[in-house]
Structure 1
Amino acid sequence: MVSAGVSIGSEMSGGVSNVLVENVHIWDSRRGVRIKTAPGRGAYVSNIVYRNITLEHVRVGIVIKTNYNEHPDEGFDPKAVPIIENISYTSIHGHAVRVPVRIQGSAEIPVKNVTFHDMSVGLVDRKHHVFQCSFVQGQVIGYVFPVPCKNLDLYNELHELVKQSTLQNISDIDYSF
């Protein structure tokens, strides 16, 4: 089993931006698409677009992890925290996925402006495996299944606000999992 279909990180000291991941089919993998970083990595991950991604028999479909604490040596600066922002997921579909989304931001590395649009992922177990989010801010546009995190604003297909998140402070944690 592959660790991740497409992975960005963990080394971020130079920054990663303006990346398009499109028309990808990921199957029999631990993770579908992943961004991983940690304090001490510095720089940024921004303007990343995932479009037309198919997930099949994947443990966790979408992952953003900000506590990937592996460093090559002790010479890193723990105060060098990366910025993660402007990440877009459009036309994400699949089946037999255990956890569709796991975004693990933190107080020092919040995940900002994440967008989900047109997403439908069939789950292995609908009772326990839903969106899992902490320290994330963003929006959902149109139809997204399963139900997204409570700290994301909901918009219709015309980009009209339907429901503003009740958790407006990015430090509010959604423990819906």
Structure 2
Amino acid sequence: MVSAGISIGSEMSGGVSNVTVENVLIWDSRRAVRIKTAPGRGGYVRDVNYRNLTFNNVRVGIVIKTDYNEHPDEGYDPKELPRIEGITFTGVHGQGVRVPVRMHGSKEIPVRNVTFWDMSVGITYKKKHIFQCAFVQGRIIGSVFPAPCHNLDRYDERGNLVKKSDSQDVTDIGYDI
């Protein structure tokens, strides 16, 4: 089982932007899609579009993690905070996924402007928190399964706001997979 099918970070002090990943099948992986960074990395991940992804037998479908605390040496500046913004997932489908989404932003490194559109991922077993978010701002457009976290605004297929999120800082991350 591989660690991740598609991964950005953690080393990205200059930044990663304007990337499109499309028409990908990921199977037998711990994570299908992963963006990882931490305080001290600096830089940014922005304007990344994932389209037409299929997951089959993965532990976690989509991971955005801002506390990946590995550094090449002790000389890093912990005040250099990366930015994660403008990440879009369109047409994500699959079967056999334990946790479809785990987005773990923080107060110092929030995840901003993330969008999910047309997502249906079959889960391996029923868990309480299978779409997990912490310090995330973004939106759901149209139908998304399983039920997304409460951090995200809901829009219908035509782009009309249906429900504004209660809080973007809600934390419901669980690591018991």
TM-score calculated relative to the size of structure 1: 0.96
In structure 2, what is the equivalent of residue 121 of structure 1? 121
Distance 1:79 1:61, change over 3 A: same
In structure 2, what is the equivalent of residue 173 of structure 1? 170
Summarize deviations over 1:48-106 as a string: whole Å, max 9, x none: 00000000000000000000000010010100000000000000000000000000000
Extract unaligned runs of 5+ from structure 2.
none
Q: Distance in 1 between matches of 2:166 and 2:110?
A: 17
In structure 2, what is the equivalent of residue 155 of structure 1? 155
In structure 1, what is the equivalent of residue 109 of structure 2? 109
Q: Distance in 1 between matches of 2:28 and 2:129?
A: 17
- Aligned letter for 2:171? D
Q: Distance in 1 between matches of 2:16 and 2:127?
A: 36
State the identity as a percent: 68
- How does 1:51-62 map onto structure 2 within 5 Å? 51-62=51-62
Extract unaligned runs of 5+ from structure 1.
none
1:139 maps to 2:102: no
Q: Distance in 2 between matches of 1:143 and 1:66?
A: 27
Q: Distance in 2 between matches of 1:73 and 1:95?
A: 40
Is the 2:37–2:65 Cα contact (8 Å) retained in structure 1? yes
Following TM superposition, the consecutive aligned residue runs of length 4 or more in structure 1 with deviations greater than 3 angstroms are: none
- Aligned letter for 1:21? V
In structure 2, what is the equivalent of residue 11 of structure 1? 11
In structure 1, what is the equivalent of residue 20 of structure 2? 20
Is the 1:100–1:129 Cα contact (8 Å) retained in structure 2? no
In structure 1, what is the equivalent of residue 75 of structure 2? 75
Q: Distance in 2 between matches of 1:174 and 1:141?
A: 21
Q: Distance in 2 between matches of 1:176 and 1:2?
A: 23
In structure 2, what is the equivalent of residue 66 of structure 1? 66
